[in-house]
């Protein structure tokens, strides 16, 4: 299955090849894309989704639509790029969509569209790479929450829709309600008390109705993946490839779309191609045409996180073949619960065989982890998403994920507790996991790290030895062992380990940070400084870290570097200072502080808005230009403020 990935990758990318301009200029329709998180195909039913069902009467309902991957970020990355995960590189949540992959919103923008997105969970926040090309990307969750209700998201999208514009609009709205935990609002909580999951779907459908009523033009509505609800031992989604999480609703309404249903098996990655088609960019692979394809999907999370068998499926018509350590075959029409494995009795077509064989399995090098911060990992954990921090180990006789399904809840809970640093509680869970799956490197390392963090030196070293036995070549084991030594009285033992890791992998952040601390302890100030500068070229330092860097540079006699660090530390608070000066009526001070806020500051739109206010109050001659500038760069927070601001009238 791992033959010549580069060639295959190229083939995947060609699907997203650049557009030829449409020869005839026709009026371009506005396009609304609604993604329904965690929505199973069979959750669409008259008593639950009356709005969806009414819309289905106006368009084309695909009864055999599939997600390329049953996890939120990766599934949306496929919708936005037209590629399978092997093509865009995002296999699970918490990763980052590379800036090199062409995305739909950018293409829509160059085709003359306004582009706006309103999403409902941190899992698809801008920082994971989906925001590229959107004029507006509203991912602001309520304070202290990592998700928001479809009602809140719809309110914000409707406010945006109410603004008049001559330009066509590409609008993406993402609803998250059906995701676990199932807590529907009333009246759905009572009406669906025996199936709260469906209650969430029903609450979301009500908002879908409001949203669509306010929209003009073409509409695509799709699930991003389904929900296991216990089928094949899976409660939620992301770990297996069965119909419960793979089979999702997909509905198309718009110019050139026939009314009716289609039983052609299709992948939601073709939403990308369909929207390009409506925008007059390129009609290749549009869902407007009934184009038969072998639909492919993957679920690599158990492979990437626990070293279990990689899973790929290929669906040809009604015959679904899953490759995950062995081959399973199901007739998904006659047997949607996938209880009768036909593998011993059927011949797999050459096309399906080729699709499974050619699908690239991520190697240790491919899944580039996005440099998530501890804070971001905690946010993802509170949504139930934690990805491994180690590279996958290819193991002989790796277990099949479906055979290990009883461990899914334990693994998810252990990952959550670990990220929250609740080490005392996580240790017994990790021990249970390792008893059932002794070669689970990620769990072994987490156990060692938990023991180390609690100061249990002997148990930690024991666990590290076991991890080393699982994978003697693992750089992760070396790294975490070095971090363990660096933490305690044996810190000099960390030095040779850290030096080796950093020389082999100069961007390995935890090792760089530990080595910087060790160098300071050794009194090697210049080395420590060099390491800190390298760390901050990979990630952004906090204000406190900048002050520390400044002091280090002073100690090393590097004046320019020290000045630079202290100036940056100060400018970290220029926006706050500017706002406070303005409130205190110190207008000149406010002007100077706000002028120092760099465009790279995520709250730059706020700085522009405040600067425009100051400009009016100071009667500056360019205050009109500043107001206009604030308006043009407004975000979801400043836009309403600017509209209400009396000073600007």
- Please state, as a whole number, how many other Cβ atoms lie within 10 Å of the Cβ of residue 166: 5
Residue that has been written with the tokens 């060692």 in this structure: 448
Please, which of residues 58-117 interact with Zn ion by CB under 5 A? Answer: 72
Burial (0-12, 13-18, 19+ Cβ within 10 Å), 327: middle
- Give the nearest distance from C-beta 72 to Zn ion in angstroms: 3
* Cα gap 398→437, rounded to integer Å: 10
Minimal distance in Å, beta carbon 38 to Zn ion? 5
For Zn ion, the closer CB: 236 or 440: 236
Nearest-CB residue for Zn ion: 72
Name which of 302 and 399 has its Cβ closer to Zn ion.
302
Rounded least distance, CB 173 to Zn ion, Å: 14
Closer CB to Zn ion, 39 or 449, in the complex: 39
Other CB atoms closer than 10 Å to residue 122's CB: what's the count?
Answer: 22
Q: Residue 622 in 3-state DSSP?
A: coil
What are the beta bridge partners of residue 251? 61, 221
Q: Least distance from C-beta 526 to Zn ion, angstroms?
A: 48
Question: Rounded to the nearest whole angstrom, what is the least distance from the CB of residue 73 to Zn ion in the complex?
Answer: 8
∠ CA 163-167-168, nearest 5°, is 95
Binders of Zn ion among 559-618, rule CB under 5 A?
none
Pick 147 or 476: Cβ nearer Zn ion: 147
Positive or negative, the Cα torsion across 622, 627, 633, 635?
A: positive
Work out how close the CB of 250 gets to Zn ion at its nearest, in angstroms, rounded to a whole number. Answer: 15
- CB of residue 93 to Zn ion, shortest distance in Å: 9
Shortest CB 185 distance to Zn ion, Å: 20
> Least distance in Å: CB of 208 to Zn ion?
16
Of 221-229, 333-341, 464-472, 556-564: span binding Zn ion (CB under 5 A):
221-229
Query: How many residues bind to Zn ion according to rule CB under 5 A?
Result: 3
Instruction: For residues 41 and 251, give the distance between their C-alpha atoms in angstroms, rounded to a whole number.
Output: 11
By the 8 A CB rule, do 78 and 88 touch?
yes
CA distance 385 to 369: 14
Q: Which is nearer to Zn ion, 227 or 358 (CB)?
A: 227
Instruction: Please tell me whether residue 146 binds Zn ion under the rule CB under 5 A.
Output: no
Q: Which is nearer to Zn ion, 76 or 285 (CB)?
A: 76
State the nearest-atom distance from the C-beta of 309 to Zn ion, in Å. 23
151 with 158: CB under 8 angstroms? no
Q: How far is the CB of 77 from Zn ion (least distance, A)?
A: 12
- Whichever of 37 and 92 has its CB closer to Zn ion, that residue is 37
Minimum CB distance to Zn ion smaller for 59 or for 384 = 384
Nearer to Zn ion, 88 or 519 (CB): 88
Q: Which positions from 448 through 467 interact with Zn ion, judged by CB under 5 A? A: none
Map the footprint of Zn ion across residues 332-391, applying CB under 5 A: none
166: its two tokens: 């001559």
For Zn ion, give the closer residue by CB, 180 or 566: 180
> Min. distance of Cβ 67 from Zn ion in angstroms?
9
Query: 37 or 442, CB closer to Zn ion?
Result: 37
Pick between residue 197 and residue 581 the one whose CB is nearest to Zn ion. 197
Q: Are strands 327-331 and 319-323 parallel, antiparallel or unpaired?
A: antiparallel
Q: Looking at 220-228, 249-257, 351-359, 465-473, which segment touches Zn ion (CB under 5 A)? A: 220-228
Q: What is the distance of C-alpha 534 from the center of its chain?
A: 27
Closer to Zn ion at the Cβ: 37 or 412? 37
Min dist. Cβ of residue 272 to Zn ion (A): 17
Return d(Cα 623, Cα 317) in angstroms, integer: 63
Q: Which of residues 492-531 bind Zn ion (CB under 5 A)?
A: none
The answer to whether residue 37 forms part of the interface with Zn ion (CB under 5 A) is yes
Q: Is 601 exposed, middle or buried (0-12, 13-18, 19+ CB in 10 A)?
A: middle
Distance separating alpha carbons of residues 504 and 518, to the nearest angstrom: 18
How many CA within 13 A on the CB side of residue 58? 13
Q: Which stretch binds Zn ion (CB under 5 A): 147-155, 210-218, 219-227, 297-305?
A: 219-227
Q: Please tell me whether residue 227 binds Zn ion under the rule CB under 5 A.
A: no
Backbone φ, ψ for residue 96 (5° rounding): -130, 130
How distant, in Å, are the alpha carbons of 40, 110, 119, 356 from that of 96?
26, 23, 17, 25
Task: Determine how β-strand 31-36 pairs with β-strand 169-175.
Answer: parallel
Q: How far is the CB of 71 from Zn ion (least distance, A)?
A: 7
Taking alpha carbons only, the member of 469, 470, 480 closest to residue 307 is 470
Q: How far apart are CA 48 and CA 201, in angstroms?
A: 7
Judged by CB under 5 A, which stretch of 32-40, 486-494, 497-505, 569-577 contacts Zn ion?
32-40
Of 169, 137, 159, give the one whose Cα is nearest residue 605. 137
* Entry field: residues in the chain: 649
Q: Using CB under 5 A, pick the residue from 139, 177, 224, 231 that binds Zn ion.
A: 224
Among the listed ranges 37-45, 49-57, 95-103, 394-402, the one in contact with Zn ion (CB under 5 A) is 37-45
Near Zn ion by CB under 5 A, which window of 13-21, 35-43, 112-120, 521-529? 35-43
Of 119 and 171, which has the nearer Cβ to Zn ion? 119
Q: Are 57 and 260 in contact (CB under 8 A)?
A: no
Where does 42-149 have alpha helices with state H? 50-56, 72-81, 85-88, 104-110
User: Are the C-beta atoms of residues 502 and 508 closer than 8 Å to each other?
Assistant: yes
Residues that bind Zn ion (CB under 5 A): 37, 72, 224
């Amino acid at each position: 299955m791992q033959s010549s990935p580069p060639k295959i990758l190229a083939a995947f990318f060609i699907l997203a090849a650049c557009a030829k301009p449409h020869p005839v200029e026709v009026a371009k329709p506005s396009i609304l894309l609604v993604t329904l998180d965690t929505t199973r195909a069979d959750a669409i039913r008259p008593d639950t989704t009356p709005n969806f069902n009414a819309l289905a009467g106006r368009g084309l309902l695909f009864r055999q639509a599939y997600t390329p991957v049953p996890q939120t970020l990766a599934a949306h990355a496929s919708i936005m790029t037209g590629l399978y995960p092997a093509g865009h590189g995002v296999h699970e949540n918490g990763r980052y969509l590379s800036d090199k992959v062409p995305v739909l919103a950018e293409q829509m923008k160059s085709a003359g569209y306004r582009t706006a997105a309103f999403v409902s969970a941190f899992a698809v926040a801008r920082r994971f790479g989906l925001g590229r090309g959107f004029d507006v990307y509203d991912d602001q969750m309520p304070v202290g929450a990592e998700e928001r209700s479809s009602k809140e998201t719809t309110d914000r999208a409707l406010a945006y829709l109410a603004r008049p514009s001559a330009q066509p609009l590409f609008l993406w709205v993402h609803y998250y309600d059906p995701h676990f935990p199932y807590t529907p609002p009333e009246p759905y909580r009572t009406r669906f008390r025996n199936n709260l999951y469906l209650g969430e779907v029903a609450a979301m459908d009500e908002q879908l109705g409001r949203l669509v009523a306010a929209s003009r033009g073409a509409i695509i509505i799709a699930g991003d993946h389904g929900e296991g609800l216990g089928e094949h031992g899976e409660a939620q989604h992301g770990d297996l490839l069965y119909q419960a999480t793979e089979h999702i609703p997909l509905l198309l309404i718009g110019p050139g779309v026939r009314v009716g249903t289609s039983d052609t098996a299709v992948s939601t990655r073709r939403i990308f191609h369909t929207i390009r088609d409506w925008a007059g960019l390129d009609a290749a692979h549009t869902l407007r045409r009934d184009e038969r394809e072998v639909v492919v999907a993957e679920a690599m999370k158990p492979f990437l996180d626990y070293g279990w068998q990689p899973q790929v499926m290929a669906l040809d018509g009604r015959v679904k073949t899953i490759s995950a350590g062995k081959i399973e075959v199901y007739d998904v029409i006659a047997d949607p619960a996938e209880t009768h494995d036909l593998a011993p009795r059927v011949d797999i077509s050459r096309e399906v065989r080729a699709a499974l064989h050619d699908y690239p399995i991520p190697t240790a090098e491919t899944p580039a982890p996005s440099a998530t911060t501890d804070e971001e990992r905690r946010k993802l954990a509170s949504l139930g998403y934690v990805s491994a921090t180690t590279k996958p180990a290819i193991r002989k006789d790796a277990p099949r994920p479906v055979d290990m399904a009883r461990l899914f809840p334990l693994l998810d809970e252990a990952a959550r507790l670990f990220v929250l640093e609740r080490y005392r509680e996580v240790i017994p869970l990790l021990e249970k996991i390792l008893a059932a799956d002794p070669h689970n490197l990620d769990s072994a390392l987490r156990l060692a790290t938990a023991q180390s963090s609690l100061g249990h030196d002997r148990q930690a070293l024991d666990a590290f030895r076991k991890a080393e036995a699982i994978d003697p070549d693992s750089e992760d084991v070396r790294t975490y062992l070095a971090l363990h030594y660096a933490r305690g009285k044996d810190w000099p033992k960390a030095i040779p380990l850290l030096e080796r890791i950093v020389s082999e992998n100069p961007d390995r952040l935890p090792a760089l940070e530990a080595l910087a601390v060790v160098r300071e302890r050794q009194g090697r100030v210049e080395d420590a400084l060099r390491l800190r500068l390298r760390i901050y070229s990979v990630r952004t330092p906090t204000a406190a870290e900048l002050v520390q860097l400044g002091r280090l540079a002073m100690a090393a006699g590097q004046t320019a570097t020290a000045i630079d660090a202290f100036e940056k530390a100060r400018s970290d608070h220029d926006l706050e200072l500017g706002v406070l000066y303005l409130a205190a009526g110190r207008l000149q001070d406010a002007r100077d502080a706000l002028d120092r806020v760099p465009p790279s500051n995520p709250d730059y739109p706020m700085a522009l808005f405040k600067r425009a206010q100051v400009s009016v109050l100071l009667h500056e001659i360019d205050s009109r230009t500043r107001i206009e500038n604030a308006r043009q760069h407004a975000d979801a927070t400043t836009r309403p403020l600017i509209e209400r601001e009396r000073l600007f009238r």
